[in-house]
Structure 1
Amino acid sequence: MDQADIPSLLSRLSSDEDAMRKMAVFKLQSSINDPAFADLFISSGGLNILRRLIMTTGGNTLAYSLQSLSRLLEVDMGWEIFESSGSGELVERLVELIVTHPLVNILRGAMSILVAIVSHSQSARGAAMRTPGAFGFRALKPAVAVYPQFFEMVVSQLSSADHALCANALMLLNALMRDAISNDKDGGKTGGTVEEWPKFIKRLQDLGVIKAVYILMQSSSLQDLAHPLLEFQALTKVLLKKWRDVAVDLEKPEHRRALKGLHLASAPERKDSASGTTRLEGLVEGNTRKASRKHSPEKWRRLGFETESPTYEFEHTGFLGMMDVTDYVRKQEDTFQKLLMEQSSRPMHQRCPFATASLACTMILYQHFEVEKSDVEDAKSYLVLDGMKNYDKIFRPLLLQWSRLHAASLQTFFRLWKATGAERDDFDKVADLVRILVEQVVGQASRTKDVHDVEEELAEFEYPRLRELQMELLELTFEDEWGQHLHQVRDELKHEALQFVKEQRVRCLLQGAWFPRNIQQKANAGEDAYAVRNGKPQSTLWRYVRLSHNRRFLHYADFDAERDHEPALDELHEKIDLSTVSSVVSNVSASNDDASSTPSTLTAKTPSNTQKSNSTTKITINSYTGSADQKNNCSHNEQAERAILTLMPMTHSLASEWLDGLLMLLNQTPITAETNKLVGLVSDYSLKIRLLNVKLGDDFAAEPGAGAVPSREGLDEDYFYEV
C-alpha cells in the first residue's frame, strides 16, 4: 500500500460500517510490517484507531486488528500503545479474549501480542523503558487477577489441533516463565518477591504443562512447534539449575517443613517400638519419649545422612536434592518405610544410606542431562534445527520426567546395593554402576520411548550385563588414554593366559582319562598293525591313557571294562615316547564349534554312562616308522607316517583337553574353539582385574614435568636422585 493512502486508510478504519473497517484492516495487516509505512502510520495517530478496533470490534475485523498489532510489534515499533493511558484496559481485553473467545484466529493474535509484551522486558530496549509495569509478567498481573482462569486456558491450548495456536500458547508460557525467573536476579526489586517464581512454576506444573509438553515433544508433528519446544526444554534446565543453586536453609519455612516431613514419613515411632527403645521416663512423663525422639543421636543418620546436620549434605545438590528426596518419600512412603526397617536390621556398615543415595542419583541425572549447558548451548541448536529431519538428537522429553527418573534411579541404586552385597566403602562403586546404567538406558532411549518403558528397563537390567558394560567402558577409556600401552599389556596377558591354559590342559593329561575302544576297532588299520607287532590284544573295550609325571611319555593300557578307580601308572604297560611323535591330527576342531562354551576343569573323567555314545570324534597320534638308520638316511618327506595311537573322546570338552594338551606338549598352537575361548576368558579377566579400581572420571594424564630427569651439571660423585 502506498504511504500516501494512509489518511484514506485511517478514515476507513474509523468508519461506522463494519464491512469498510474489515476491508481496511485486512489491507493494513499486509502493509504494516514495512518500517517506513509503520512509522507514518504511528505518527498519523493510527495506534489509537487500532486500539479502538481491538477494544470494540469482533469477528474477522478483530482478528485482522490483532494480527496488525502483532506484526507492528514484530518490527519493534508501536510499543507506546502499552505506555499510554488505557494500556491496562488493552491488556485486560487481550486476556479476556483468551479466556472467553472460541475463535482460533482471534486466540492466535491475542496470544502473539501477549508474548511480545512479556518478552519485551527481557530485551535491551525493554530494560531501559521508563514506564514501570508496562511490560513483562507484571503487565499481566492486574488482568489475570480479574480472569484467574487465564493460565488454565493457556495450558489447555497446548492440546489444540491448530499447531499455530499451540505454538503461540507455548511461546506465551515460555515468556512468562523466563520473565518470572529473570526478575529473580535482582532480588525481586522489579518483579515482586524472590519466592514468587517457584510458586508460579508450581502453579503451571499443577495445571499439567509438563505432561502436555511431554506429549508434544514425542509427537510426530514437530515442524511448527520445534522452536518453542526447544525453548521449553532449555527453560527446564534453567529451572533445575536455579533449584540447585538455592541453598538449603532451615531459616526458610518451606525448607524446614520439607525436612520435618521427611523425618515424620520415616515413622520414627515404629522404629522405637520395633527396637524396644521405650524408655522408663516415658512411663513417668508422657512427652519425654517425644523429646528423646527429637534429640535422638541417630535421627538423621537413620535416614541415610552421614551426619546429624543434614543441611550441609545438600551443599552439592541444593534445594533440587531436597525436592527429589521429599518427592520420592511422598509418592513412595510405604516403600521408604519398608526400606528403613530392612536396613535397620543390618550392621551399620552394610546399610544402604537412603538420603545419600538419593542425592547421588540427583547429581547423576544433573550431569547426564548436562544441565549446566542449558541456555547458551541449546540456543545454538536453533541455527541447525530447521535443516534437521531427525529431532532425536535435539529433543530430550525424558528431561521433563525428572521426578520419575530420579525415583527409578534410586530404586536401581537399592537393587544394585543388595545384588552386589555392597558396604559403605563401596558407595562410590555402586554410584558408578547407576551412572553407567542411566547413560545406557536413558541416554540411548529414542525420543518416542515412553518413560514407563525406561523405568522397566532400569528395574530389570541385569547386574552381570551391567558389569560387562562397565568393563567395556573402562577399556574404551584406557584405549583413549593409554592405547599403545594397553595393547602391550593385552599381549603380555594373553601370553600369560596361554601358559596358564597349557598347564591346565597338561594337568588333564596327567590326571588320565578313559576312552572307549569297542567303536574304534576298524578306525585305523595302521594302529592295528602297530598293536599286532607289539603283541597287544584286539578285543578289549576300554583304554586308559595317562601322561607320565616327567611329561615325556604317554602311558596307556586296554581293559575289558572301565574301572571305578584310575589305574596306577605301573599298570599301564604300553607307552609312547612323545619325542617320536610326528603329528597329532583330529576332527575335533570342526566339531567343537557346536561345543558348550563352559570351560573344562582340571578333572576330566569320562562318565561311565557314556559307554553307549556314538561319538565320531577322533584324535590320532602319528609317528614315523622304520629303523633309526633309515630315518637318518631319508628325508621326512620319504618317511612313512603311521598312527601309533587313536583316541575316541566321548565329549567335546575331553577332546579339546587332550588334543590341545598334546599339541602344547609338542610346542604347537592350540586349535580348538573351547581352548581359544578359555585363553581369551583368562586374559580378559586378568585385564579387568587390573581395571576394577579405576573410575571413568580418573585423570590418566601425567602432571607437567613428571618423569623429567634432573641435570647432572655441577654434581660430584656424592649425589642421588630423589624419586
Structure 2
Amino acid sequence: MSNHNSLPPRSPVTSAPASNPNGNQSKSGLVPTNNVTTNEGVTVRARIDPTLTVADVVRQLCVNLKIKGAPSDYALRDENNDLVTNDNLRKKIKAKLDLKLVNAPAKDAKEMKYVRENEFAHEFVNFDGVAQLVDIVFTSQGNILAHALMCISNLMELDYGWASLDDDFILRVVQVLSSLHSPINACRPATAILKKLVEADPTNAPGSQASSSTSGPVLVPGSVYRYGFAIVFEQMRKEPSLLETVVSRLGSADTGMAQNSMMLINSLLTHVSDLRWEEFISKMERLRVRRAVVRLMSQHTVEDLTSGILDFQANMLRVIYRKKSTPVDFETQPSQMADLNSIWNHSKLIEEVDENGQQLKWRKLGFDSEDIVMEFNDVGVLGLECLKRFVERDPDFSKVVLEQLSRPAERRCPIARASNEVVELLSEHWAIFAPGYSTSTTFQPFFLDFFKVHALATSFFLRMWSESGAASGDFVRVVALVRSQVKVALRSENVRAWHEVEHDLLECEYRAVRDRQMKELELEDDLLSKVPVRNLRAKIYKESYEFVRQQRIQCLLQGAWFVIAVPGDSPMSRDSRRPNKPWRFMRLDNGLRYLHYVDSAMKFPVRSGLEDLPERIEIAAIVEIATGQCLLPPNVLHHSDLPPASPLGPSPLSFSLLAAHDEGGIRSLADQIAPDQSRWADWTDGLNMLRKDSGHVASKETAGFVQALTEIGLKIKLLGVSSFIHLSGEMVDIPSGLTAGPPPPNLDFFFSPLI
C-alpha cells in the first residue's frame, strides 16, 4: 500500500497508512502525530492542525480516507472512548493519543430507535451491542448516557437479548435515577428500565405455570425473566434516597417524568415480595405517597395520568386488604408491639385487676376481653394501625378515656370496639373484599386518606353514642347510624371537597342523622347489615368480579372489528390523515400475551386462529388504555355500522393503546373506535384487567355488571335463608358474629351427618 504523502502540503490534516503491505514502516519525512482508526478497522497516521475545529478535522479525514456518508455523521473519540471536543482537541493531539473515527452521538441516537425491531436487535445482540451499551452507561454522562439508557429501554421491549444485565448495572441505573443532578432525558429511560426489571420475574415468563414446581418457577438459562422485585429492591436499598426522589417526581412539571414515576411505583406495589412487603410499604407510607397522588388528582390536566392514578388506587386497595387480613402477631413483630404500647401510653391509664383477680387493662379501652390478639381478629393489622393513628391524632385522648370510665359500666362507649367497627364499615363502603378487585372508575381521594376518614368516623361514633344516650345493648343501633352517615359524608368523593366530609362527620346533629336513618330503614332490610351477610356479600363480589373479568377476556379472544381512529391532538387537518385502510380486526392470542390485528380497506370474514392477523402488539408493552381522545376519520363518518358522532369532537367510543415513547413519554401503538358502547366496555376493561400492574376498570358498564351480579347473587343466597325461616315458622335471629366454643376435652366424639 503506497503512502499518502502526496497530499497537498496546505492540507491541515494529512494521513498515511499505519504500515505498508510488507510490514515495513513508512520512510516518509512526515512525523506521525496521532493514529486514527476508522469503523472499518483501518488505522492511519495523521498530522492534525490543532487550531482547527473538530468538525473541520472530521470533514477532512472523511475526504482524505474516502469515507462515505456525511461528515456530520461522524465524531472523534480517544483511546478511553471520551468524546473529542473543541476544548480538548489540542490537549489530545499534544499527548499523541490514539483516536477513533466513530459514529456521531446524533447518528447513534437515530439508530438506537431500531433496536426494538427483531432483525436489528438480533444482529445488535450478536455483535455484543448490549455490553457496549452497558459500558457507555457506566462511563458517560449527559446526553450520551441518556441515549444509551434509551437504547437499553427499547431493547427491553423484546423478550430476549438483555439477560446479561447484572446487579452492578441495576445499581448504576438506581444511582442515575436517585441523583438530583441527572437530566430528565436520562431519568425517564432509567425509570422504564427499573420497571421492566421488576416485572421480569420468573413467574411472568411464558409457560411459567407449566414449568413451575413446589419450589417455584424454573429459571430457564438465558431467559430475561430472571429478575423481579427482590433483585431490583436489593439494589434500591443501597440508595436510600431513591424512593423519595421517585415520589417527589410525581409532582414534576414534566408530564412524562410524572407518568413514568407513577408507573414505576405501581409496578413496585404490584410485584413487592412477601419478604420485603412490610419494609417497602412502611417506606412508602413515610414518604406520604398517597398524599402526593391526591395532589396529582387535583392538579392534573392531562388525561394520560388518569390510568396510572386508577392503577394506584387499585394497588392501595390491595395494601389495605392485606393489612386487614394479616393477623396481629405481637411476639414476632416488634413494630406491632410498639404500636400497642403507644396506644396504651397515650391513654395514661394504669393496669389493675378486677373483682375476680383477673387482669384489667385492655377492657378499660373498650375491648371485650384481655385477649388482645383475638380482639383484632377481624380487622388484623389494619385495625391496630387505625386505632394507633386515632389515638395519636387526638391530643385529648386520655381525657376521652377517663370520661368514659367515669360513667356507669353499661353507659360506657367501647372505644376500641368502635374503632374496629368503623374499619369494617369503611371496608364495606370501599368494597375492600379481596386483593386485586376494584370497580372504581373515578378518583377516590378520601379512600387514599383512609386513616384520616377512620379517625373522623370514630369520633362521630363516640359523639352519637353520647348524644343518643346509648347503653351497652345499643351498639348495633349506633353502628347503623354511623354506617348511614358514612355513606352521606363519602358520597361523590371525586368531586366533593375535604371540608365537606369534615362538616358531615363533625358538625351534623344526632336528630337529623336519626331521622334520615329511620327513612332508610323503611327501604332497607336490616338483615343486610349483619356481619355474616356482609361477609357473604364480599365473597359473592369477588366471584362476580372474576366472572366479568373472564367474560371480558373471552371477548378479546373472539376478536372484533374496529374503525381506525384519527388522533385528536395532531395539528394536521383530518382530511390529510385519512387512513387508506379504515378497518381493523383485533384478537387476543390464547397465551394472553399478544394482541394480533390486521388493517383492511373493508371488512372480511376472519378465520379462527391468527393466520389472517399478521401484525401484533405485546400486552406487556401497553402501559395505559386512553379513552375518548380520537376522532372518526372522514371516509367512514356516515358508515351505517357506526353510531352517530360529532364530526368535530373526539368519539366517546375511541380508545388508544399507549406505550413508552423513545424520549421517555408516551406513544400510541394503536388508535381505534368501537362500534358500540358494549364492545367499547368489553375491550377497554378487558385490556385493563389483563395488564399485570392494573386491577381497575374504566367503564361504568363493567362496574355496574359486577355490582348487579353481586346483589342478585346475595339475594338468591338470602332467599334460601328466608325460605327456611318461613317453613320453620320461627323468626331466627342471625347473629352479628360467631364465636368458636372450647375444643372437646377428649377424642370420644363423632360428627353427625347432616339431614
1:33 aligns with 2:116: yes
Q: 1:169 aligned to 261, 272, 287, which one?
A: 261
Q: 1:395 aligned to 423, 443, 451, which one?
A: 443
Is the Cα contact below 8 Å between 1:219 and 1:448 reproduced in 2?
A: no
Give the CA deviation at 1:324: 0.7
Q: 2:326 aligned to 246, 251, 265, which one?
A: 246
Question: Deviation digits for residues 461-501 of structure 1, max 9, x if unmatched?
Answer: 222322233233223336999xxxxxxxxxxxxxxxxxxxx
CA distance in 1, matches of 2:525, 2:331: 48
- Which residue of structure 2 aligns with residue 316 of structure 1? 378
- Which residue of structure 1 aligns with residue 361 of structure 2? 299
Is the Cα contact below 8 Å between 2:485 and 2:504 reproduced in 1?
A: no
**Residues 697 and 458 of structure 1, relative CA distance in 2, 3 Å threshold:** farther
1:337 aligns with 2:384: no
Give the CA deviation at 1:94: 1.0
- Which residue of structure 2 aligns with residue 144 of structure 1? 236
Is the Cα contact below 8 Å between 1:25 and 1:68 reproduced in 2?
A: no
More helix by share: 1
**Residues 444 and 365 of structure 1, relative CA distance in 2, 3 Å threshold:** same
Alignment of 1:207-222 (within 5 A): 207-222=287-302
Give the CA deviation at 1:217: 2.3
Give the CA deviation at 1:375: 1.5
Is the Cα contact below 8 Å between 2:362 and 2:369 reproduced in 1?
A: yes
Question: Deviation digits for residues 90-118 of structure 1, max 9, x if unmatched?
Answer: 21221121122331111101111111111
**Residues 298 and 396 of structure 1, relative CA distance in 2, 3 Å threshold:** same
Is the Cα contact below 8 Å between 2:456 and 2:502 reproduced in 1?
A: yes
1:104 aligns with 2:151: no
Is the Cα contact below 8 Å between 2:412 and 2:471 reproduced in 1?
A: yes
Is the Cα contact below 8 Å between 2:130 and 2:162 reproduced in 1?
A: no
Q: 1:463 aligned to 510, 523, 542, which one?
A: 510
In structure 1, give the amino acid aligned to 2:433: E
Q: 1:94 aligned to 151, 166, 173, which one?
A: 173
CA distance in 2, matches of 1:14, 1:415: 77
In structure 2, give the amino acid aligned to 1:158: L
Is the Cα contact below 8 Å between 1:401 and 1:451 reproduced in 2?
A: no
1:328 aligns with 2:420: no
Question: Deviation digits for residues 236-281 of structure 1, max 9, x if unmatched?
Answer: 1111111112112332333333333322322124xx9xxxxxxxxx
Give the CA deviation at 1:441: 1.1
Is the Cα contact below 8 Å between 1:324 and 1:406 reproduced in 2?
A: yes
Alignment of 1:440-519 (within 5 A): 440-445=488-493, 447-477=494-524
SS in 1 for 2:378: coil
1:160 aligns with 2:240: no
- Which residue of structure 2 aligns with residue 404 of structure 1? 452
- Which residue of structure 2 aligns with residue 229 of structure 1? 309
In structure 2, give the amino acid aligned to 1:160: S
Give the CA deviation at 1:130: 5.2
CA distance in 2, matches of 1:315, 1:294: 26
Question: Deviation digits for residues 565-621 of structure 1, max 9, x if unmatched?
Answer: xxxxxxxxxxxxxxxxxxxxxxxxxxxxxxxxxxxxxxxxxxxxxxxxxxxxxxxxx
- Which residue of structure 2 aligns with residue 346 of structure 1? 407
SS in 2 for 1:308: coil
- Which residue of structure 2 aligns with residue 73 of structure 1? 156
Q: 2:346 aligned to 261, 265, 271, which one?
A: 265
CA distance in 2, matches of 1:700, 1:168: 50
Give the CA deviation at 1:235: 1.4
CA RMSD of aligned residues (A): 3.7
Is the Cα contact below 8 Å between 1:317 and 1:363 reproduced in 2?
A: yes
Which sits farther off after the overlay, 226-235 or 449-458?
449-458
More strand by share: 2
In structure 1, give the amino acid aligned to 2:509: E
Which sits farther off after the overlay, 136-145 or 150-159?
136-145
CA distance in 1, matches of 2:525, 2:363: 38
Kindly name which structure, 1 or 2, has the bigger radius of gyration based on alpha carbons. 1
SS in 1 for 2:105: helix
Give the CA deviation at 1:435: 1.0
**Residues 74 and 407 of structure 1, relative CA distance in 2, 3 Å threshold:** same
**Residues 709 and 258 of structure 1, relative CA distance in 2, 3 Å threshold:** closer
Give the CA deviation at 1:431: 0.7
Give the CA deviation at 1:414: 0.7
Is the Cα contact below 8 Å between 1:13 and 1:49 reproduced in 2?
A: no
Q: Percent identity?
A: 28
Which sits farther off after the overlay, 368-377 or 107-116?
368-377
SS in 2 for 1:81: coil
Alignment of 1:552-591 (within 5 A): none
SS in 1 for 2:160: coil
Which sits farther off after the overlay, 312-321 or 23-32?
23-32
Structure 1 unaligned blocks of 5 or more = 185-193, 273-289, 382-392, 482-695, 711-723
- Which residue of structure 1 aligns with residue 466 of structure 2? 418
Give the CA deviation at 1:207: 1.9
- Which residue of structure 1 aligns with residue 132 of structure 2? 49
Q: 2:105 aligned to 11, 15, 22, which one?
A: 22
CA distance in 1, matches of 2:516, 2:410: 28
CA distance in 1, matches of 2:407, 2:327: 33
**Residues 708 and 173 of structure 1, relative CA distance in 2, 3 Å threshold:** closer
CA distance in 2, matches of 1:358, 1:479: 22
- Which residue of structure 1 aligns with residue 279 of structure 2? 199
Is the Cα contact below 8 Å between 2:205 and 2:225 reproduced in 1?
A: no
Which sits farther off after the overlay, 111-120 or 334-343?
334-343
- Which residue of structure 2 aligns with residue 64 of structure 1? 147
Is the Cα contact below 8 Å between 2:360 and 2:370 reproduced in 1?
A: yes
Is the Cα contact below 8 Å between 1:293 and 1:299 reproduced in 2?
A: no
Is the Cα contact below 8 Å between 1:25 and 1:61 reproduced in 2?
A: no
In structure 2, give the amino acid aligned to 1:41: F
CA distance in 2, matches of 1:339, 1:376: 38
User: How many residue pairs end up in the alignment?
Assistant: 441
Is the Cα contact below 8 Å between 1:324 and 1:358 reproduced in 2?
A: yes
CA distance in 2, matches of 1:41, 1:215: 43
CA distance in 1, matches of 2:527, 2:379: 31
In structure 1, give the amino acid aligned to 2:462: F
CA distance in 2, matches of 1:697, 1:138: 45
Is the Cα contact below 8 Å between 2:204 and 2:225 reproduced in 1?
A: no
In structure 2, give the amino acid aligned to 1:369: W
Is the Cα contact below 8 Å between 2:153 and 2:193 reproduced in 1?
A: yes
Is the Cα contact below 8 Å between 2:200 and 2:226 reproduced in 1?
A: no
**Residues 416 and 697 of structure 1, relative CA distance in 2, 3 Å threshold:** farther
Give the CA deviation at 1:136: 2.4
User: TM-score if structure 1 supplies the norm length?
Assistant: 0.55
Q: 1:436 aligned to 484, 498, 513, which one?
A: 484
In structure 1, give the amino acid aligned to 2:515: E
In structure 2, give the amino acid aligned to 1:225: L
- Which residue of structure 1 aligns with residue 219 of structure 2? 129
Q: 1:363 aligned to 408, 415, 424, which one?
A: 424
Alignment of 1:532-571 (within 5 A): none
Is the Cα contact below 8 Å between 1:53 and 1:62 reproduced in 2?
A: yes
Question: Deviation digits for residues 630-658 of structure 1, max 9, x if unmatched?
Answer: xxxxxxxxxxxxxxxxxxxxxxxxxxxxx
- Which residue of structure 1 aligns with residue 44 of structure 2? none
In structure 2, give the amino acid aligned to 1:114: L
**Residues 37 and 698 of structure 1, relative CA distance in 2, 3 Å threshold:** closer
Give the CA deviation at 1:705: 6.9
